[in-house]
């Protein structure tokens, strides 16, 4: 990530500027970062996940939101735009702000320019949120999804590939990678990745 500015910007000034900006920016500890446009696989994967989770949660007090909503991480002093986010918090559901405070599940579709940050520093920032139960990283170049789940105080990592089914424990949802990657054109051979479902324990900070 490359900052748009080298001087400190307050959260209040960021929000005011962001509401009239023609492009989106994320905010991290006084600095703002412009977001680049997404490629078609990225957009289709995010749309597929939004649809699948909306159907699953339609009768539950939870809302699935796409990339135009910000998540405010007060303890980390950040505002992020996740590709897909689910909140079940009554305050988030009732509010009319352009950000939420209490995500339950966050999904990031990885790109070459953001993958390292999304899997490391951004995850560390999200761990300051007491309501977050699952953090999901989705490849857009092959059928591969990494799910980081908070179970009994420990972050566990499950990797799903190929024709496997993926589980989001926080939402009691399971679905196939085929459904998530439906209509996505991948590099030749990428769809045929061998299915795995490896699970390993991970410390609270990656």
Judge if 97 and 121 occupy the same domain.
yes
**118 and 196 belong to one structural domain:** yes
Whether 77 and 161 map to the same domain: the answer is yes
128 with 108, same domain?
yes
Q: What token pair was written down for 148? A: 């980081």
CB 129 within 8 A of CB 161: no
Q: Given a cut of 50, is residue 78 above it in pLDDT?
A: yes
Counting the structural domains of the chain, the total is 2
Residues 11 and 82 in one domain: no
CATH code for the domain in which residue 153 is found: 3.90.1570.10
pTM value? 0.88
Q: Which residue range is the domain that position 110 belongs to?
A: 38-202
How confident is the prediction for the chain on average, in pLDDT?
A: 90
**Per-residue pLDDT tens digits for 43-74:** 999 999 999 999 999 999 999 999 899 999 99
pLDDT number for residue 200: 32
Same-domain pairing of 125 and 47 = yes
Please state the rounded mean pLDDT for residues 82-102: 95
Name the band, by pLDDT with cuts 50, 70 and 90, for residue 3: low
Q: Which tokens is 2 given?
A: 């490359």
**21 shares its domain with 110:** no
Q: Which of 100, 94, 65 is nearest to 79 (CA)?
A: 100
Are 3 and 68 part of one and the same domain?
A: no
Antiparallel, parallel or unpaired: β 63-65 and 84-87: antiparallel
The answer on 166 and 153 residing in a single domain is: yes
The residue behind tokens 């990283």 is 137
CB neighbours (10 Å) of residue 22? 4
Q: How many CB atoms lie within 10 A of CB 82?
A: 25
145 touches 177 (CB < 8 A): yes
The per-residue DSSP string of 112-156 comes to TTTHHHHHTHHHHHHTT-TT--EEEEE-SSSSEEEEEEEETTEEE
Residues 138 and 72 in one domain: yes
85, 139: one domain: yes
Stretch (H or E) spanning 147: strand 144-151
Q: Are residues 76 and 59 in the same domain?
A: yes
Tokens of 199: 């699970």
Residue identified by tokens 């078609």 is: 40
Buried b or exposed e, range 124-153, using 16+ CB within 10 angstroms = ebbbebeebbbbbbbbbebbbbbbbbbeee
Q: Which of 164, 113, 172 is nearest to 142 (CA)?
A: 164
109-152 residue pLDDT tens: 999 989 999 999 999 999 999 999 999 999 999 999 999 999 99
* pLDDT above 50 for 202: no
Q: How many CB atoms lie within 10 A of CB 68?
A: 8
């Amino acid at each position: 990530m490359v900052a748009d500015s080298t001087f400190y910007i307050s959260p209040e000034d960021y929000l005011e500027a962001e509401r009239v900006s023609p492009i989106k920016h994320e905010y991290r500890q006084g600095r703002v970062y412009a977001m680049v446009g997404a490629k078609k696989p990225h957009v289709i994967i995010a749309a597929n996940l939004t649809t699948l989770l909306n159907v699953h949660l339609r009768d539950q007090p939870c809302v699935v939101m796409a990339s135009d909503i910000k998540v405010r991480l007060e303890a980390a002093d950040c505002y992020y735009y996740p590709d897909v986010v689910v909140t079940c918090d009554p305050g988030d559901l009732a509010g009319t702000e352009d950000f939420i405070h209490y995500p339950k599940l966050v999904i990031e579709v990885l790109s070459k320019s953001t993958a390292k940050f999304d899997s490391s520093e951004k995850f560390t920032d999200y761990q300051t949120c007491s309501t977050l139960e699952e953090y999901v990283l989705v490849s857009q170049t092959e059928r591969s999804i990494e799910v980081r789940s908070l179970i009994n105080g420990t972050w566990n990592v499950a990797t799903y590939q190929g024709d496997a089914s993926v589980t989001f424990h926080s939402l009691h949802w399971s679905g196939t990678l085929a459904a998530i990657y439906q209509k996505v054109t991948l590099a030749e051979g990428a769809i045929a990745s061998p299915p795995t479902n490896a699970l390993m324990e991970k410390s609270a900070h990656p």
